[in-house]
Structure 1
């Protein structure tokens, strides 16, 4: 069960790299590159970064007991911890 896409702005390369490292440290698989699927802990998220400042994430799958707001909120936290 997926969620609506969420777009973040002002995501520089430093913010993007920081976010990916934090997600990996939290036990999620994050592929290299500017787009792909992040997975782990029962969650699958598509990400697409335009290489300059716009990052779009879409939660594609999550445990039934996790709301879309909670899933996207966690990603929002990672992005903001890295300075976006």
Structure 2
């Protein structure tokens, strides 16, 4: 098992706007295809590939993700960049 870094100092939270129910569903499918288990519902945990993150979606437009753990050889920006790419793909951008 790869070593993980606990982000006690924390990665910056990621906030997404214009996350419709369709976009939220699409993002969840992208997370799963990336190897992350996703809690059901509008808030919970993303877990897999050495990543642990908490997410919260307001059910209408705003999604927040806080990265709590990540692999030692992975930067916060790499994880948040991947999550942002999923959002862009789901937005059709």
Query: Which structure is larger by alpha-carbon Rg, 1 or 2?
Result: 2
> Counterparts of 2:26 and 2:70 in 1: how far apart (Å)?
23
* Secondary structure of the structure 1 residue equivalent to 2:67: strand
Any runs of at least 4 consecutive aligned residues in structure 1 with deviations exceeding 4 A, and if so which?
none
- Cα RMSD of the aligned pairs, angstroms, is 1.1
Q: What is aligned with 1:34?
A: 42
* Secondary structure of the structure 1 residue equivalent to 2:73: coil
Identify which of 49, 61, 70 aligns with 1:53.
Answer: 61
The TM-score, its normalising length taken from structure 2, stands at 0.85
Q: How far 1:22 sits from its partner (Å)?
A: 1.4
Q: How far 1:78 sits from its partner (Å)?
A: 0.8
- How many residues align? The count is 84
Taking the TM superposition and a 5 Å limit, the aligned residue runs for 1:1-84 are 1=7, 2-83=10-91
In the alignment, structure 1 segments of 5+ residues that lack a partner are none
* Secondary structure of the structure 2 residue equivalent to 1:82: helix
> Counterparts of 1:5 and 1:16 in 2: how far apart (Å)?
17
